[in-house]
Structure 1
Amino acid sequence: MKKHVVMVCDHIHESGLEMLASQPDIEYINVADLPKDELLNVIGKADVAITRSSTEVNSAFLEAASNLKALVRAGVGVDNVDIDGCSKRGIIVMNVPTANTIAAVELTMAHMLACMRAFPYAHNHLKLDRVWKREKWYGYELKDKKLGIIGFGNIGSRVGKRAKTFEMDVITYDPYIDPSKATDLGVEYTTNFDDILACDIITIHTPKNQETIGMIGKKEIEKMKEGVVLINCARGGLYDEEALYEGLKSGKIRFAGLDVFVKEPATDNPLLDLDNVTVTPHLGANTYESQYKIATQAAQQALDAARGISYPNALNLPIRESEIPAFVKPYLELTQKIGFLAAQANKGAIKSIKIVGEGGIGEYIDSLATFATVGALKESLGETINYVNADFVAKERGIDIIKESSPTAGAYKSSVRLKLTTDKEVVEIAGTSFNEDVQRIVEINGFALDVEPKGRMILFKNTDVPGVIGDVGQILAKHHVNIADFRLGRDKTGLALAVIIVDNDVSEEVLRELDALEASIYVKYVIL
């Protein structure tokens, strides 16, 4: 009997290696100590590979991995994995998203305590300098302090529970959860981000995406109270490091506890020069317990994938031309993009996702619904949402997935229509595909348009009066934002919707100025 080959490319806990080595139908090859350029010479033997952050799964790796059917990233982050490249080759990518949850939660609490008591500095003063000076190290208690938690998912919610046991006053900001998830734990829920900025301590636990990168910057720090403490054990770049440095140096931020940085290894980061920072070298997953769980879960996923049993925590859907009609693929991609666009335009706790397949594509309504759900939840969940767990996550969050098929598609041979309902509003978007590779959004909230689903978009709804386009152009020009395309839809009630595609990032200031125009009804900014 031919054995399945599982290749371990990076170091994992011995428990995972023992699991692989004990299987009679598995040929286990450990190449963790092999130089990465030499790895390319042997990866072609693998049916399944287990990697961590040290192995770049790029075009060279994929070209050499000619026999690879699945890849397990032993950890959460997949920044070093070319998921699109894997999908095109039919390689299923999986990660291990929850094994390090408790480790990250407890490290967050450790940084919080260390900052409040200046623990590392008091330790060094005694142990390294041999100075006994108690009066120098007065700290602060967690009790009765107000903790602001940005992101209330697996990790943020557990930090909140532990903070409550310290008798802290806890508030969370997460527009993508049902408020009851917080309030049921005795945690205050807010939709006003300024409520978080007014806290004594702020900790962040969000995915890293376009919305969250640099979400705490100079303006946000200016709004904080004097002596605030900031914690980041999530992802580097969620805090603007330059603004963080200035805030720490001025004393506006009394202390910061950091486990992650924009560029790692961070051995030359200016933040290390400050004496009011506690730092660790990305240790969020570095406990023996979490490493054991990561290794054993990764090994089990590799075994299941090698045997073709299941693909838990799959992050992609392999696309094989022989198994899917050529015209279907662009509609699946388009539906996911529409879901992502709708979630950015309609931020809030999602209540329902309705997907309608019109014409020939309607036969694939189940697949369309999966892609729509992944797109809609990607805005709030980032890399944790995937094609395998989408239905489960939606059900867990109380989101209704409504599927409809229609044999006719009006003016188009096939089209898809998505209706996203949140606790705030409803957004409805329709799209179609031409010639199997041209995707178009053809309607947004009843306004007929023709927009390529790509790039930075400003959605500007306004009363249809003279001078609006000129006013919009002047504001964008003033802020050096270049317009790449301008598409306008009008209705019979005197309203218009412009989709303005721009070349530059758009600041909150620009959006505020656009919204302040007399004709403005709403302004939204989305990125595809």
Structure 2
Amino acid sequence: MKKHVIMVCDHIHESGLQMLASQPDIEYINVADLPKDELLKVVGKADVVITRSSTEVNQAFLEAATNLKALVRAGVGVDNVDIEGCSKRGIIVMNVPTANTIAAVELTMAHMLACMRAFPYAHNDLKLDRIWKREKWYGYELKDKKLGIIGFGNIGSRVGMRAKAFEMDVITYDPYIDPAKATDLGVEYTTNFDDILACDVITIHTPKTQETIGMIGKEEIAKMKDGVVLINCARGGLYDEEALYEGLKSGKVRFAGIDVFVKEPATDNPLLDLDNITVTPHLGANTHESQYKIATQAAQQALDAARGISYPNALNLPIRENEIPEYAKAYLELIQKIGFLAAQANRGPIKSLKVTGEGEIGEFVDSLATFAAVGALKESLGETINYVNADFVAKERGIEIRKEKTPARGAFKNRVALKLTSENGVIEISGTIFNDNVQRIVEINGFALDVEPKGRMILFKNTDVPGVIGDVGHILAKHHVNISDFRLGRDKSSGMALAVIIVDNDVSEEVLKELDDLEASVYVKYVIL
């Protein structure tokens, strides 16, 4: 009997290695100590590989891995994996998303306590410099301080529970959860981000998405109370590092606890020059317990994948290329983009998704619904959402997913549509594929349009009166925002118009507010695809 070959490319806990070595139908090869250029010479033997952050799964790796069917990233982050390249080769990519939850929670609490008591600096005074000066090290207590938690998922919610045990006053901001998830734990829930900025201590626990990158910057820090303490054990870049540096240097931010950086290793990061920051080298998952769980879960996923049993936590489409016709793949990609667009345009806890497939594409409405859910939930969950867990996560969040297939109607042989309902209202978007796989959005909330789902988009609904386009162009020009495309839909019966404005530059809140202040404006939304 031919054995399945599982290759371990990076170091994992011995428990995972023992699992692999004990399987009679598995040939287990450990190349963790092999130089990476030598790895490329042997990886062609592998049916499944287990990697961590040290192995770059890039084009060269994939070209060498000629027999590879699946890849397990032993950890959460997949920044070092070319997922698109894997998908094109039919390689299933999986990660291990929850094994380090408690480790990250406890590291957050460690940083919080260290910042409040300046613990590392007091330690260095005595241990390294042999100075006994108690009066130099007056700290602060967590009790009765207000903790603001940005992101109340698996990690953020557990930080909140532990902070409550320290008798802190806890408030959270997470527009993508049911408020009851917080209030049931005795945590205050807010939809006003300024409530978080008013806290004594702020910690962030969100995925790294277009919305969250740099979400704490110069303007946000300026709004904070003097002497605020900031913690980041989630992802590098959620805090703008330059703004954080200036805040720490000026004393506006009294202390910061940072485990993650934009560029790692961060041995030359300017933040390290400051004396009011505690830093660790990305240790969120570095406990013996979490490493045991990561290794054993990664090994089990690799075994299941090698045997073709299941692909838990798959991050790309877990089907073979020949199981779906070529034309349908473009519609799956399109409906995922539509879901992502709809969730950005209608931010808030999602209540329901209705997915419709018109024409032949309706035969794949189940797959369309899964892809739509991945797109819609990606706005709030980032890389943690995938094609395998999307239905489960939606059910867990109380999101109803309805599916409908109908005959072709109107001008299009095939069309897909999504109706997303959130606490902020309803948005309906439909699209189709033209020749040569050209994706187009053809309708938004009843307005007929022809828009490529790509780039930075301003959705501007207004009363259909003279001068509006000129006013919009003037505001964008004033702020040096270049318009690359302008698509207009009109509804004469209602006297309304909807413009989709594609721009080359990032659009600030100031620009959006000026647009919204126009007399003709009904709403302004900004999305990025």
The interval holding the TM-score normalised by the smaller chain is over 0.9
SS of structure 1 residue aligned to 2:41: coil
The one-character-per-residue Cα deviations of 1:45-74 (angstroms, maximum 9, x if unpaired) are 000000000111111111111100000000
Correspondence 1:305 to 2:279: no
Counterpart position of 1:361: 361
Alignment of 1:89-488 (within 5 A): 89-318=89-318, 320-435=320-435, 437-488=437-488
The one-character-per-residue Cα deviations of 1:10-31 (angstroms, maximum 9, x if unpaired) are 0101110011001000000011
TM-score of the aligned structures, taking structure 2 as reference length: 0.99
Aligned length: 528
Correspondence 1:512 to 2:513: yes
The alpha carbon displacement at 1:435 in A equals 2.1
* AA of the residue aligned to 1:106: E
State the distance in 2 between where 1:350 and 1:179 align. Answer: 12
Counterpart position of 1:497: 498
Correspondence 1:15 to 2:5: no
State the distance in 1 between where 2:286 and 2:347 align. Answer: 34
Structure 1, unpaired ranges of 5+: none
The alpha carbon displacement at 1:407 in A equals 1.5
SS of structure 2 residue aligned to 1:285: coil
The one-character-per-residue Cα deviations of 1:143-172 (angstroms, maximum 9, x if unpaired) are 000000000000000000000000000000
* AA of the residue aligned to 2:512: L
The alpha carbon displacement at 1:506 in A equals 1.1
Counterpart position of 1:81: 81
The alpha carbon displacement at 1:318 in A equals 4.7
State the distance in 1 between where 2:412 and 2:320 align. Answer: 26
The one-character-per-residue Cα deviations of 1:192-241 (angstroms, maximum 9, x if unpaired) are 00000000000000000110010000000000001000000000000001
The one-character-per-residue Cα deviations of 1:323-350 (angstroms, maximum 9, x if unpaired) are 2112101100000000000000000000
SS of structure 2 residue aligned to 1:450: strand
Retained in 2: the 8 A contact 1:89–1:319?
Answer: no
Retained in 2: the 8 A contact 1:353–1:400?
Answer: yes
Counterpart position of 1:525: 526
State the distance in 1 between where 2:518 and 2:11 align. Answer: 57
State the distance in 1 between where 2:288 and 2:71 align. Answer: 23
Retained in 1: the 8 A contact 2:318–2:387?
Answer: no
SS of structure 1 residue aligned to 2:122: helix
* AA of the residue aligned to 1:329: K
The one-character-per-residue Cα deviations of 1:447-473 (angstroms, maximum 9, x if unpaired) are 000000111101011111111111111
* AA of the residue aligned to 1:417: A
* AA of the residue aligned to 1:8: V
SS of structure 2 residue aligned to 1:506: coil
* AA of the residue aligned to 1:14: E
The alpha carbon displacement at 1:409 in A equals 2.9
State the distance in 1 between where 2:321 and 2:8 align. Answer: 29
Structure 2, unpaired ranges of 5+: none
Counterpart position of 2:41: 41
State the distance in 1 between where 2:457 and 2:59 align. Answer: 30
* AA of the residue aligned to 2:524: V
SS of structure 1 residue aligned to 2:355: strand
State the distance in 2 between where 1:437 and 1:408 align. Answer: 18
TM-score of the aligned structures, taking structure 1 as reference length: 0.99
* AA of the residue aligned to 2:510: E
Decide which moves more: 155-164 or 466-475: 466-475
State the distance in 1 between where 2:259 and 2:321 align. Answer: 43
* AA of the residue aligned to 2:224: M
The alpha carbon displacement at 1:513 in A equals 1.2
State the distance in 2 between where 1:150 and 1:353 align. Answer: 26
Retained in 2: the 8 A contact 1:347–1:422?
Answer: yes
Retained in 2: the 8 A contact 1:9–1:50?
Answer: yes
Retained in 2: the 8 A contact 1:327–1:436?
Answer: no
Retained in 1: the 8 A contact 2:90–2:321?
Answer: no
Retained in 2: the 8 A contact 1:86–1:318?
Answer: no
The alpha carbon displacement at 1:367 in A equals 0.4
State the distance in 2 between where 1:480 and 1:39 align. Answer: 49
Identity of matched residues, %: 88
The alpha carbon displacement at 1:508 in A equals 1.2
SS of structure 2 residue aligned to 1:107: helix
SS of structure 2 residue aligned to 1:322: helix
SS of structure 1 residue aligned to 2:296: helix
Counterpart position of 2:56: 56
* AA of the residue aligned to 1:439: Q
* AA of the residue aligned to 1:359: G
* AA of the residue aligned to 2:445: N
State the distance in 1 between where 2:326 and 2:266 align. Answer: 46
The alpha carbon displacement at 1:408 in A equals 2.2
Report the RMSD for the aligned CA atoms in angstroms: 0.8
The alpha carbon displacement at 1:480 in A equals 1.3
